[in-house]
Structure 1
């Protein structure tokens, strides 16, 4: 895939937009918190910066990457959505995170549906997966609402993750 500039997607309530340096403090705080345990965290500042840069670099290397989830009406950044790829991901992963206080409002589902559909329609991928920590019931519900089905045979970096597969 040729290098691509990050895109912007809109949903009824959300603006999915490129990362800005001003997004890093909230992102790093999330990754330093116990809430990042499902991603292998908590992470220190150096690791958070590397992950933030990875999310942006994926656009150049793979033509997809991460977008920040912004509430369109308030302008509040509530989390991140992305298609992850590279040597740490066995397959293209549809991944999301929400900052504290923004769970349970459908933001992850709305953002992930838009990103999933964009990947199918624009990138032409036939399948995506989400790696969900075994104890992350909220993300499992999001994956199920998106039509993901458990794929016990899918490769995974963490043997304890549940893998939800989305077909075109």
Structure 2
């Protein structure tokens, strides 16, 4: 599975992506996702991201900048017993923030999900202190949904509707 945008190539994760993923998950930047996580937990999450493709027909894609082909983060549609609804989520690695990569990648995956999977909506679960992700979801047209179910009662839930 590959989705190409103007600047980005979204592709399936491979084992070479795990080291950077594990560093992010071990860092304070993962607090909004329930972290920091040890190596074992990060590996389980990484494998979950990959397994979703087999189980549900969607999952995580790594975000590569088309030129020079550098991986800068991940975008994905999470699902399964840990998520009340299908979640559109993203992160970029340290040093790649503020360049629009998360917005561009999330928009491309969201549009693919609506067109290919026929989903009526997606949600994004965001920690209230994560101003950067709130800004991304608002750029995507997400609207705060105060009645949406959530695993973490502190999360804000933004709903993305199919056009």
TM-score, with length taken from structure 1: 0.96
Within the candidate set 67, 71, 76, 1:73 is matched to 67
Matched, 1:24 2:24: no
Q: 1:7-32: CA deviations, max 9, x gaps?
A: 10000000000101100000000000
Whole-Å Cα distance in 2 between the matches of residues 69 and 38 of structure 1?
20
Moved over 2 A (4+): none
Q: List alignment gaps of at least 5 residues for structure 1.
A: 1-6
Alignment of 1:95-134 (within 5 A): 95-134=89-128
Name the structure 2 match of 1:45: 39
Structure 2: which 5+ runs fail to align? Answer: none
CA deviation after TM superposition for structure 1 residue 74, in Å: 1.1
Secondary structure in 2 matching 1:103: coil
User: Which residue in 2 is equivalent to 1:62?
Assistant: 56
CA-atom RMSD in angstroms = 0.4
Q: Deviations over 1:35-59 (max 9, x none)?
A: 0000000000000000000000000
* Partner SS, residue 67 of structure 2: coil
Counterpart residue number, 1:4: none
